[in-house]
Structure 1
Amino acid sequence: MDTRNSRYARSRARGAVKPITIAIVAIVLGLAVLSWIFVIKPHEDIVGTDNGAHPSTPVTQGPQAAPPVNVEALSLNDLLAEARKAMNQQRVISPAGNNAFEFYLKVLQKQPGNQTAADALRETFPFAASNVEQVINQRDFNEAEREIDLLAKVDPTNYTLTILRSKLDAQRKTLDEEQQKQLDQQRQADLAAQKAVADKAAAEQAAVQKAASDKAAAAQAALAAQQEKVKDEEAAKAKAVAAQTTSENTTAAAGSTSAETREPIPISVIRPRYPPTALRNGQEGWVDVQYTVNPDGSVTNISVVSAEPRHIFDSAAIDALRRAKFSPAMRDGTAVVFQQEKRIEFKINNSQ
């Protein structure tokens, strides 16, 4: 292949690229000039040359607090001047009554075809929308709603407003849920505190009842011990009396050559159980009892003849005689039925 022809072809190709490059550069420069003429320069005319500010490049200082302005009293030029001042101080859409949006809207109200105000509102719309989003995130819902309504006056069909309203509703719902959660937690804490108080009161009441029960049990145990002691003493005395009676009877039988005649002889001590109620109340008294001693030494037909005080010691006296054992009455050496009467006394000292 001829190398000279190849070099010639490549040289022609490089020569064709240069005009294309030049054309692209020319187009870019033309677009830049057109942008300056139709976009940048008109906007500078809008915002003025106070600080060389531009809506897309706000000054570094934050929005300044400013009192509301009586826009009704301002002329068209005054409104535009106030709007430029508000833009320079980043009061794009707040505070209420003293922000660029309201000034420009008032200009359009007074002069519907004012291109300066219309262009400014259109260009600052995205920055105002960003401010609204920040206000929503700060949960200043009333201010956010005011600013959204202000944006709607500029471009009611803008989809950004739909997004902002959705975010506002979502934040309100989130706040409601958080508040409800706090209320639920507080309610649970209150219920827990009430339960703790109720449990404490119940525990204290149970402790009081247990103390009273323990005291009553101790008193009952003491009474039972006293009664057991009395029972043991009665048994010991009865045993002693029985032994003595048996000895006397043996002696009498051995020394007697004739048939015996006598009244019934108790072979155990007739000692009644002291009624617990009377013992606790410190009552004393006596009971006269009539009864029959049978030939086998058993006791029947027991009845109360008189008592002092009445009905307090009657049952204890009758019970004591039922438990008593007698050597029967004898007539000519034969055991016979015999009716006796006996007074049974109740003394606290004797029962202890």
Structure 2
Amino acid sequence: MTELYNLLAMFFSVIFFLIASLGTMGQAVENWFKYNLRHFWTSDGNQTEKKAGSKPINGVRIFYPRDMRTAGKEGKVILTCTIKISGETSDCKIERSSGEKSFDSEALSYVSKARFRPAMRNGIPVTEYNHRYAVRFSLAN
């Protein structure tokens, strides 16, 4: 009987300890949550959001197609891409062609190799869909 009493006393002691700990942890979690809400949201209650970068952060460079340079042609290709949280591009599509296959294929190759600063929402990287990029091919550069 004494063993049962000691076992029950130990069991209830552990239960009371856990309840007391949860109360303290609950207050800590609540304070953390309030702090982060205050810093993640702007003063007017809207989320802070930044779009993905427009310049590659990995130093990839665009190459002017030799046949277009020889022909003295210039062009501009408009593409849309998904920018992942890693900064990689995917699902890149030509939105407006330059009219020259060499420019179009080089622009697609360029954005597929490039790594960009990802879009941010509340300080956390997020995937951005349909980010527009304009790739210009100019003989002056």
Same fold (TM over 0.5): yes
Partner of 1:288: 78
Partner of 1:231: none
> Aligned partners of 2:140 and 2:127: how far apart in 1?
35
Q: Which amino acid aligns with 2:138?
A: K
Structure 1 residue ranges, 4+ long, deviating more than 6 angstroms after superposition: none
1:307 deviation in Å?
1.8
> Aligned partners of 1:307 and 1:342: how far apart in 2?
12
Aligned match for 1:304, one of 73, 94, 103: 94
Q: Which amino acid aligns with 2:90?
A: T
TM-score by length of 2: 0.60
Question: Partner of 2:101: helix, strand, or coil?
Answer: coil
Query: Which structure carries more strand by proportion?
Result: 2
| Percent identity for Structure 1 against Structure 2 | 26
Partner of 1:344: 135
Aligned match for 1:262, one of 44, 50, 62: 50
Question: Partner of 2:106: helix, strand, or coil?
Answer: helix
> Aligned partners of 1:270 and 1:287: how far apart in 2?
17
Residues 183-262 of structure 1 aligned to structure 2 (within 5 Å): 258-259=39-40, 261-262=49-50
> Aligned partners of 2:136 and 2:58: how far apart in 1?
16
Question: Partner of 2:67: helix, strand, or coil?
Answer: helix
Q: Which amino acid aligns with 1:342?
A: Y
2:96 paired with 1:315:
no
Q: Is the 8 A contact 2:52 2:119 kept in 1?
A: yes
> Aligned partners of 1:289 and 1:349: how far apart in 2?
22
> Aligned partners of 2:124 and 2:109: how far apart in 1?
28
> Aligned partners of 1:320 and 1:347: how far apart in 2?
15
1:268 deviation in Å?
4.7
Query: Which structure carries more helix by proportion?
Result: 1
Q: Is the 8 A contact 2:98 2:104 kept in 1?
A: no
> Aligned partners of 1:345 and 1:284: how far apart in 2?
8
1:288 deviation in Å?
0.4
Question: Partner of 1:264: helix, strand, or coil?
Answer: coil
Structure 1, unpaired ranges of 5+? 1-256
Alignment RMSD (CA, Å): 1.9
> Aligned partners of 2:124 and 2:87: how far apart in 1?
13
1:323 deviation in Å?
1.6
- Give a deviation string over 1:59-113, Cα, whole Å, max 9, x none: xxxxxxxxxxxxxxxxxxxxxxxxxxxxxxxxxxxxxxxxxxxxxxxxxxxxxxx
1:301 deviation in Å?
0.7
Distance of aligned partners of 1:270 and 1:258 in 2 relative to their CA distance in 1, 3 Å threshold = farther
TM-score by length of 1: 0.25
- Taking CA–CA contacts closer than 8 Å with sequence separation of 6 or more, which of the two structures ends up with the larger relative contact order? 2
Partner of 1:50: none
> Aligned partners of 1:279 and 1:300: how far apart in 2?
28
Structure 2, unpaired ranges of 5+? 1-37, 41-47
Question: Partner of 1:280: helix, strand, or coil?
Answer: helix
Q: Which amino acid aligns with 1:258?
A: H
- Give a deviation string over 1:219-266, Cα, whole Å, max 9, x none: xxxxxxxxxxxxxxxxxxxxxxxxxxxxxxxxxxxxxx8335211124
1:326 deviation in Å?
1.1
> Aligned partners of 2:52 and 2:108: how far apart in 1?
18
